[in-house]
Structures are given as structure tokens and as C-alpha cells.
Structure 1
Amino acid sequence: MLDVSIAPAPAPDAPFEDHIEWARNAPAIPSTPAALFTGGLDGAPVGDRLTIDGPEWDYPVLARDLVRGSRGAVLDIGTGSGDFFAGLGPLPTGSAATETGPAFLAARRRLEPLGVDVRRAEASWTGDVLLPFFDGQYSAVLSRFSTIDPNEVGRVLEPGGTFLTEQVDTRDGIALNKALRAPLGWDQDGVTVDVICDGLVASGLEIVEATEYAGTRTFKDLSSVLWYLRTAAWQVPELADLSPANVARHEAALRGLHMHFAMGNELVDEAPRILVKARRPY
């Protein structure tokens, strides 16, 4: 849980500058990286002024059941700090995890004492994320909110092996960017349930389950928007630091959004999620 010993957030109709100042000084990191996607914002400084409608499934339970029922080693793609994967234990002998970001060293510290082989998974010149493992090495593969290469997933799964992934649909955040008059930095059709399933089928896997959840993310004041922009730095990269120059560049849109909240309105954004389970045939 975050240390939220900071000044209370200003009221929705407080001066624009008060919201900017508060957001610049509020802790920007949620309790876990997945919190922005799952609704686990307990302890975040925005309190209930930012709410996320999480999916109806329970990915941790599904992942834990898959690990415990696995016949052999398990791979976690994009493990982050490794805390989530470690919590699914005891992990089968030979299990492994990948991480490409700054959390790699933290993942090694967390998982290697448990016997997990932690590797960097580098992108090739084509942009595909290559997995540094042998063909058919794992009886189960997990991936939560990380980039996947369907061909690589299919390659490292043994016959009869299972793949489970929870992903953020790329329609997430469109309403916020529209309100800020900021272009999307991603293809809104890049990650959908159809795209994921088509890729997995093309890699030789069979789809066992494919579910979409049309979740929402609700902002109740400008402070909650600004805190989110700092924490989700990919949303509008120019506003991630809330520097005076970048705030001035977006000031007209920010002030318009502030007036929207000051009049008692909310901003409801899309936050769709995807769950896919697939299996490699014998």
C-alpha cells in the first residue's frame, strides 16, 4: 500500500492551478504495476476519485490453478518484479520467466532463489519478441499485460500444453485522449480478442476460451486525471512529467476538462480487458 501522507486533493471546483500542484507532488506509482489495469488502487492518493471496473474473471486464481495442475515447468512472459509469479508457487522444477524492462533485476532477485530461470526476452529486428528457450520446453505459459509473439508461445509449449493470457484491449483510454485532444500513441485495433486468437490459431494452437470484458475507468476531478497521466506515462507522454512547459502546451484542453468536472460531471473512459486460454494439440 502506498504512503499517502500528502495534502488532501483539492475539491473538483478548486482553482486549476491547485490541481496541477497537487498532482505534481502526489506519489505517481500504484501499489502494483497491474493496479492501473485491474482496479487494485487501494491506497493510491486519488482515493475513490479514480475507479476502475475490473473484469469479472479472477486471473490470479486461474493462473494458480494452471500452475498447480501443470505436468511440468511453467513460463511467465513479462513477469515484472516477479512477485505475482512467485505468489503462484510452489512453482514446478525448471520454471522460467522473462522480463525486458527495468524490473528485470528485481525479478531475478525475487525469483532466482525459488529456482526460476529469469531471462531477458529481446525483440528481433522485425519487432517480434523472441523467447530464449527450447521448443516444447514448457507445459504451461502465462502472460499478463505483456507483449506476446503467438508463434513463440506456440513454439515453446509442449504438446498438450496450455497458454493463459490477460490483456488490455487497445481501445483502452481513447476517451481520455479525445478529451485532451491528444493523438493516440498506439493502434486502437492492435490488441483485440480477434487479433490474439487469430495469431494463436495461426501458430498451431487451439482456442479453449476467449472472453472480453467491457470495463470502464471513471475520473471525478482533474487531479485524478493528472495523477493517472503521471502514472500511466504511455497515455500522453508529454504530460507524464507535468512540467510547466508541457502543461502550458495542453492548457486549453486541461482547463476545458477542469470545467467539466467543476460542473459536477465525470469522465467515463473505456477499459476493456481480454482473457484467452489456448492449448497446443498433441
Structure 2
Amino acid sequence: MDPYAELVDEAVAASFTGWDFRWLAGRAHNAQPSWSYPDLARAALAEATRVLDIDTGGGELLASFAPLPEATIATEGYPPNVPLARDRLAPYGVEVREHDFGTALPVEDAEVDLVLNRHGRFDPAELARVLRPGGLLVTQQVGSRNDVEINEALNAPLVEQPGSYDCVGAERALVEQGFEILEAAEEWPEFVIRDIGALVFQLRAVPWQVPGFDLDKYGPALRALDERIRSEGPFVAHDHRYLLRARRR
């Protein structure tokens, strides 16, 4: 069988639910930024009483922080993930509320004293609305230069122009909504892709990286990249991550 086709078929057949990337183990590796979002989230949870986790996915990360405060809410906007998150988080007493894209958070004004947001939607006005005065935001966001090398290798258009989403702009927006910035950092960790199947799986799991991704449309570019990986070694892109801890005044 064609080695390229074999890797691609394997990636297409792989299942993906919630936010589970274990299939990529040994085939791709995301380096982590110098900070630890999980450690920062755990420290904040220890002081919180009412918590909101935005865009929880299948609830995998939030569940790893258990035990959780009794009044913990999670939102999720991707319908297939909602029942997964409810099943996973129910034992920890977490209420999962469905959140349609483009709508206000399903949370009352000043309902929570901690907002956690790892790679979720970032609306500073909504964050200010749902947090109590003195409440804390801990967020790790994906910037607009995220893995642009993938788009360049496939000759695919960029979803966002570099500079559209970055730490400086996010800080400014939060300050305008009445937040005090406690910590801000921005880094570009390596994303190492060891075979073309790993890239195909990634683009199926994260379709917003290359909207309209199609194996036929991008087949020639994928084959060229497959040959490049076989001859030169792993393909390296760079994630774009920034961290913000901020307090609602």
C-alpha cells in the first residue's frame, strides 16, 4: 500500500471525542510554555467559592482539578461535547450549561468569583459582567500566529492575520473593562509533527486551523510535506500561547 495513503487512512479512521489527543502520542508533540496553566488554575480554585470554566470541551481538564468548589459551572458551545462534559463532570457536582457561539454567557451578573478559560472564547465585556468585584480571571489563549507554518506548508489561507490576537491586545481590552493585570506572558512553543497522519488528525480535530480542510484539495501539498518529513525529519510549527491573570476591580 502507498505509505502516504496508509498514514492518512489511519488518521481518518481514528476517533476523536471531547478534547482527547492521545492518538498523537509518539507521532506529534506540543512543547509547553514556561508557565503551567493547570498549576495556576489549581491555586486559584483553592481560594474560590463560585467558579466558571469557559468552553470546557469534554470536561477533561476541569475534572483533573477535582475536588472542585460546590458551586462550579462549566460552559460548552460544541453540541457533541455537552453530554460528554455532563457525564464526566456530574460526579464532581459541576453544572454544564450549553453556550451558543456568539451569545452571552449563560451566567448571571456577578455570579462567580473565578473564571477559568483555557483556549476558550475571550470576551472581556462578558468576563467583567459575570465576575464579582475582586474576582479573578485565569486564562491561557491561542494567539493569531498559532501554527502558521502549517498553513504556509499547505498554501492554505490564514484564518486570522498575525497580530489580530495577542497578549498586548488582550491586556488592553481587559484594562478597558476594569481589570487589573496581575500577570501576562506570551510564548511560541514548538509543535513537532513526526508523520503526515499526525497532521491530518490534527486538522480534523482542530478544523479552524485550515477551514474547509479536504484531503483531495490539499492532497498534493500533503504528499509534498510527507516526502519532506521522510527525507528531512519532523516538521516543526510553533504554537502561539499567552497567559493572563487579572482581577476585576
Please classify the TM superposition score into its range, dividing by the shorter chain length: 0.7 to 0.9
> Does structure 2 retain, via aligned residues, the 8 Å contact 1:82–1:107?
yes
Q: Which has the larger radius of gyration?
A: 1
Deviations 1:191-225 (Å, cap 9, x if unpaired)?
A: 21112212211111111000112211122333333
The answer as to 2:171 corresponding to 1:201 is: no
Q: 2:233 and 2:3 mapped to 1: Cα distance?
A: 19
- Residues matched between the structures, number: 247
Using structure 2 for the length normalisation, give the TM-score: 0.88
Q: Tell me the CA shift for residue 172 of structure 1.
A: 1.0
The answer as to 2:100 corresponding to 1:100 is: no
Q: 1:95 and 1:223 mapped to 2: Cα distance?
A: 38
Q: Tell me the CA shift for residue 86 of structure 1.
A: 2.7
The answer as to 2:8 corresponding to 1:23 is: yes
Matching residue of 1:33: 19
Gaps of 5+ in 1: 1-14, 36-40
Q: 1:206 and 1:50 mapped to 2: Cα distance?
A: 37
Partner amino acid for 2:19? Answer: P
Change (3 A) 1:90 1:47: closer
Q: What fraction of aligned residue pairs are identical, expressed as a percent?
A: 35
Matching residue of 1:258: 226
Matching residue of 1:166: 140
Deviations 1:2-44 (Å, cap 9, x if unpaired)?
A: xxxxxxxxxxxxx8x3222222224545697275xxxxx5xx3
Partner amino acid for 1:220? Answer: R
Deviations 1:75-98 (Å, cap 9, x if unpaired)?
A: 111111223223323322322111
Change (3 A) 1:220 1:90: closer
Q: Which has the higher strand share?
A: 2
Change (3 A) 1:238 1:158: closer
The answer as to 2:208 corresponding to 1:234 is: yes
Gaps of 5+ in 2: none
SS in 2 for 1:212: strand
Equivalences for residues 107-118 of structure 1 within 5 A: 107-118=85-96
SS in 2 for 1:135: coil
> Does structure 2 retain, via aligned residues, the 8 Å contact 1:140–1:162?
yes
Change (3 A) 1:133 1:259: closer
Q: 1:239 and 1:132 mapped to 2: Cα distance?
A: 32
Matching residue of 2:54: 77
SS in 2 for 1:60: helix
Using structure 1 for the length normalisation, give the TM-score: 0.78
Q: 2:237 aligns with which of 246, 251, 269?
A: 269
The answer as to 2:166 corresponding to 1:213 is: no
Q: Tell me the CA shift for residue 117 of structure 1.
A: 2.5
Deviations 1:158-196 (Å, cap 9, x if unpaired)?
A: 111100001111211211111111112334333211122
